């Protein structure tokens, strides 16, 4: 009973540390797992295997973890598997050395060796998963399968090797079993690290593409400027004053549209907004901009800022493209307190239906558009939350507003960087 209780507490705490859960969550989950596991053991006695009592405790702890942290269901699965895998370690240690040590020494030995898992996880930050590992890396949810495989393999090894004879043989198999467990942990973290490196490379490439697009716009404008100067000079030489006045007025309107984007400090972000204005115009949609902050102090990178603005604009463009009459999209960028706010507003066809499903909008996989996978809004909400901000939505009549708020860097932080 004492051994089971200690195993439940340490295993649940280790799994919580591995997934970077909050200390309060780890404590409540561990106590819940302890209560459920011990209750089953006391009520059933020896009628059911200890493993089932342990597994029930780990499942209960994982469900509470899922409820408190509001994580992905895969996180709860991984937490359960890591905990049960550690029970495999406990089984091999406790039963494998029972012939070589007395009960008290054996128990203390098992506890100390069992504690090496949370100790190493806390000592080496690279051994733990980021809280958003399945959101920030493409297809990485598949790494849950290796964890399940390690769990099954570890338990199989534990069961097959219980009848091993000889102290040294038992110790060798214990070390091998522990190595299999840590191989699963390392495999998970290496896959996450590799996926994040790949994502950073893609982000860098996307930034270069945005810069190239912006430079192409600049070159195009320079070429157009030369043509405009020649045209105006020709009209003046011919004294065609009315034609010249109309031509210059058209140039002023085009210049005003370009000046709307100039307040944005980063050229990649300005290029993205400019491209969306062209895209909206091609679809008969007007993009109205009100830029009152240059986003120079926002904590997100240019790629991340483009991800926020681009997803919101694309979502609005997709909505208006499905409506019979072209409308307009309003993009507002301003500062409120310690946050930069990027707000996109557009008309919706059925406001009541939109409000009915409003609570599911940011849920991963939810979409009402054919051919979409429903990850755009959920991904930018996760990004904003990671940076200490949020993405909110509300309606006013038949107009829906999406607002992404992201903290700004303090002046002291800028000087340090």
Question: Do 134 and 14 belong to one domain?
Answer: yes
The pTM of this model reads 0.51
Question: Do 187 and 282 belong to one domain?
Answer: no
Question: Do 191 and 291 belong to one domain?
Answer: no
Establish if 257 belongs to a structural domain.
Answer: no
Q: How far apart are CA 72 and CA 364, in angstroms?
A: 9
User: Which residues, other chains included, contact 297 with Cβ-Cβ below 8 Å and sequence gap of 6+?
Assistant: 340, 408, 409, 414
Q: Which of 202, 222, 247 is the last residue of a domain?
A: 202
Establish if 196 belongs to a structural domain.
Answer: yes
pLDDT, one tens digit per residue, over 15-33 is 888 888 888 988 999 899 8
Question: Do 278 and 160 belong to one domain?
Answer: no
The predicted model gives 313-317 an average pLDDT of 90
Establish if 408 belongs to a structural domain.
Answer: yes
Question: Do 33 and 175 belong to one domain?
Answer: yes
Residue 313, pLDDT score: 92
| Residue 312 in this model has a pLDDT that exceeds 80 | yes
Establish if 38 belongs to a structural domain.
Answer: yes
pLDDT, one tens digit per residue, over 144-176 is 667 767 766 776 676 666 656 666 776 777 777
Please identify which residue in the block is written with the tokens 């590992």: 133
Question: Do 296 and 193 belong to one domain?
Answer: no
Establish if 239 belongs to a structural domain.
Answer: no
| Other residues' Cβ atoms within 10 Å of the Cβ of residue 366 | 15
Provide the domain limits for residue 10: 2-202
Q: How far apart are CA 134 and CA 224, in angstroms?
A: 46
Give residue 339's pLDDT band: very low, low, confident or very high (50, 70, 90).
Answer: very high
Question: Do 375 and 304 belong to one domain?
Answer: yes
Question: Do 180 and 271 belong to one domain?
Answer: no
Question: Do 10 and 133 belong to one domain?
Answer: yes
Q: Which of 178, 202, 226 is the last residue of a domain?
A: 202
Establish if 143 belongs to a structural domain.
Answer: yes
Sheet holding 339-347, edge to edge: 286-291, 328-336, 339-347, 399-407, 390-396
pLDDT, one tens digit per residue, over 370-396 is 544 445 788 888 888 888 899 999 988
| Residue 412 in this model has a pLDDT that exceeds 70 | no
117: its two tokens: 């898992």
Mean pLDDT of the chain: 77
Dihedral pair phi/psi, residue 287, rounded to 5°? -100, 110
Question: Do 296 and 406 belong to one domain?
Answer: yes
Q: Which of 167, 182, 202 is the last residue of a domain?
A: 202
Residue 150, pLDDT score: 73
Question: Do 192 and 317 belong to one domain?
Answer: no
Establish if 216 belongs to a structural domain.
Answer: no
Q: How far apart are CA 350 and CA 346, in angstroms?
A: 12
Establish if 368 belongs to a structural domain.
Answer: yes
Report which of residues 261 and 155 the model is more confident about.
155
Question: Do 12 and 155 belong to one domain?
Answer: yes
Domain containing 284 — which CATH number?
Answer: 3.30.565.10
Q: How many domains does the chain have?
A: 2
Residue 170, pLDDT score: 67
């Amino acid at each position: 009973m004492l051994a089971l209780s200690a195993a439940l507490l340490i295993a649940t705490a280790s799994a919580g540390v591995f997934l970077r859960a909050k200390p309060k969550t780890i404590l409540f989950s561990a106590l819940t797992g302890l209560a459920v596991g011990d209750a089953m053991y006391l009520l059933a006695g020896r009628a059911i295997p200890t493993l089932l009592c342990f597994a029930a405790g780990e499942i209960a702890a994982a469900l509470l973890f899922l409820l408190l942290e509001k994580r992905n269901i895969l996180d709860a699965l991984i937490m359960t598997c890591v905990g049960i895998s550690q029970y495999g370690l406990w089984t091999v240690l406790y039963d494998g050395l029972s012939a070589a040590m007395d009960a008290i020494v054996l128990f203390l030995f098992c506890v100390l060796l069992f504690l090496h898992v949370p100790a190493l996880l806390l000592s080496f930050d690279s051994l733990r998963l980021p809280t958003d590992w399945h959101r920030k890396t493409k297809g990485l949810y598949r790494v849950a399968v290796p964890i399940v495989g390690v769990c099954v393999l570890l338990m199989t090894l534990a069961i097959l090797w219980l009848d091993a004879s000889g102290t040294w043989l038992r110790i060798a198999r214990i070390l091998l079993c522990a190595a299999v467990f840590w191989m699963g942990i390392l495999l998970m973290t290496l896959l996450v690290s590799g996926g994040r490196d790949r994502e950073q490379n893609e982000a860098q490439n996307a930034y270069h593409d945005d810069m190239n697009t912006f430079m192409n716009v600049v070159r195009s404008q320079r070429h157009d400027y030369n043509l405009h100067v020649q045209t105006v000079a020709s009209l003046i030489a011919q004294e065609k004053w009315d034609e010249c006045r109309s031509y210059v007025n058209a140039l002023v309107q085009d210049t005003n549209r370009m000046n709307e984007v100039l307040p944005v400090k980063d050229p990649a972000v300005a290029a993205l907004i400019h491209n969306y204005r062209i895209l909206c115009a091609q679809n008969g949609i007007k993009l109205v901009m009100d830029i009152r902050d240059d986003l120079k102090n926002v904590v997100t990178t240019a790629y991340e800022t483009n991800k926020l603005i681009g997803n919101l604009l694309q979502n609005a463009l997709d909505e208006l493209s499905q409506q019979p009459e072209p409308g307009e999209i309003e993009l507002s960028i301003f500062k409120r307190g310690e946050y930069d706010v990027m707000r996109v507003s557009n008309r919706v066809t059925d406001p009541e239906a939109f409000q009915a499903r409003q609570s599911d909008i940011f849920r991963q996989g939810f979409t009402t558009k054919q051919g979409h996978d429903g990850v755009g809004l959920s991904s930018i909400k996760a990004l904003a939350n990671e940076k200490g901000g949020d993405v909110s939505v509300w309606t006013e009549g038949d107009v829906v507003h999406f607002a992404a708020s992201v903290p700004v860097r303090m002046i002291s932080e800028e000087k340090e960087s």
